Amino acid sequence: MNCQDLIAIDMHTHAEVSCRQEPDSYWEPYEQAASIYFKVDKRPSITETIAYYRERKIGLVMFTVDSEFQIGNRRIPNEEIADAARENADIMIGFASIDPHKGIMGAREARDLIAQGVVKGFKFHPTCQGFFPNDRMAYKLYEVIAEHQLPAIFHTGHSGIGTGMRGGGGLRLKYSQPIHLDDVAVDFPDMKIILAHPSWPWTDEALSIALHKPNVYIDLSGWLPKYFPPQIIHYANGPLKTKMLFGSDFPLITPDRWIEQFKAAGFKPEVHDLILKQNAMRVLGLK
């Protein structure tokens, strides 16, 4: 990634429309509900997303979510994300997503992807994947990630996925309470753990864990900054200024809207570049 030419690095962008396979009907009700919740319509393809970020000179970390066990939708292959990252290495970093229910086979896939030299981290969504992050079931997968000292992003807090659906679409918010990641941070101190979103309604838990554990960070995606709980801004301006990361949740929130509101949300000018780019560079091992 050519960081010197970038104005920011977005740590949280979704690959939602494959360029290689047709959309899966199992996912359509969840996508429709999320579109209502976030007030969005069109979902760009992976290629369109990369072009969008290139035009704005914003680097992006892109991933899909493997929720084949809990929801049953066919995932976008990690290989498609890896190939896109390889072909657009100046602007994009690819993270993989592997459902922890895949056990040893999932750990094998992670090892194979890392060996190819393109995948630089992993994404987990406990609510959509139906597991507690500190469930030992997932530890074989974490062991591979930690061995290579790669970062892992975990969805935390409320989820727009399933919101408004009957029974929440069968998804349980309890899996995404950030306190479960405190165990993971202790057991895998060499794995950088990124708590995605302001973690509402457990915001204070996330802040406490990031303050207590050197390997825990927070990405500020999924919410527009004008809606951030005040303690987020307070800690970002002080003891967690090197632990906060810019993330949008594209295409549900665009980086343009996020950055515009970020500049008016009360963050001190001296932390702007840290949050928008420098902290991400450190987490991702970029120069």
Reported pTM: 0.96
Using pLDDT thresholds of 50, 70 and 90, give the confidence band for residue 80: very high
- Could you give the domains of the chain? 3-284 (3.20.20.140)
Average pLDDT, the chain: 96
In this predicted model, what pLDDT tens digit does every residue of 89-121 receive, in sequence order?
A: 999 999 999 999 999 999 999 999 999 999 999
The answer, yes or no, to whether the previous bond of 201 is cis (omega within 30 of 0) is yes
Percentage with pLDDT > 90 across the chain: 91
Using pLDDT thresholds of 50, 70 and 90, give the confidence band for residue 19: confident
Residue 265 has pLDDT above 90, yes or no: yes
Using pLDDT thresholds of 50, 70 and 90, give the confidence band for residue 23: confident
Residue 1 has pLDDT above 90, yes or no: no
Using pLDDT thresholds of 50, 70 and 90, give the confidence band for residue 42: confident
